[in-house]
Chain A
Amino acid sequence: GDSVTQMEGPVTLSEEAFLTINCTYTATGYPSLFWYVQYPGEGLQLLLKATKADDKGSNKGFEATYRKETTSFHLEKGSVQVSDSAVYFCALSPTANNAGNMLTFGGGTRLMVKP
């Protein structure tokens, strides 16, 4: 079946550091890929998405590129802020047999940014 694997956290960085959160997936065909962010005590917010190979999703300084050859969708940001502290979830929506538009989520990666 489909699966999403994220690096385990927590990831602790100093402000203005470079961020990479790894995400790899297993799925047939060409799934859509998403990154969600969850701030403490809140629901998940869609951060960015990509729907086909080599697409780059970007939002709020975050970027991720859909790499079909490595089945990866790593999240990056050049300079993190304390306000980026949150849990980040990678997710996919498969191409086949998905009448309910089900998503497969990774386990989440907690990011802590220190001033």
Chain B
Amino acid sequence: GQNIDQPTEMTATEGAIVQINCTYQTSGFNGLFWYQQHAGEAPKFLSYNVLDGLEEKGRFSSFLSRSKGYSYLLLKELQMKDSASYLCAIMDSNYQLIWGAGTKLIIKP
């Protein structure tokens, strides 16, 4: 079967660093995506990893280990506007996205 696990909710402090983990088991793998979704808004594309390693994009970085079925999204220098849900999604062998349930990130001053 297909399964994507990520924590339901996390809390962090403004200015700090937070790591959101995602583990997966899917039929085929054509890449892993992270999306940010603010309440009441559409998901916004953050990153795409298809090879092992770390991809850095400003304050956000995403890591992938295909052998371990594991990824994380690292957010640095947290800002209040980073409070949102973060969705992990896998592109399967049919090039369709399988979505995790999302991690609600709460940033406290």
A binds B: no
Chain B residues within 8 Å of A, Cβ to Cβ: none
Chain A residues within 8 Å of B, Cβ to Cβ: none
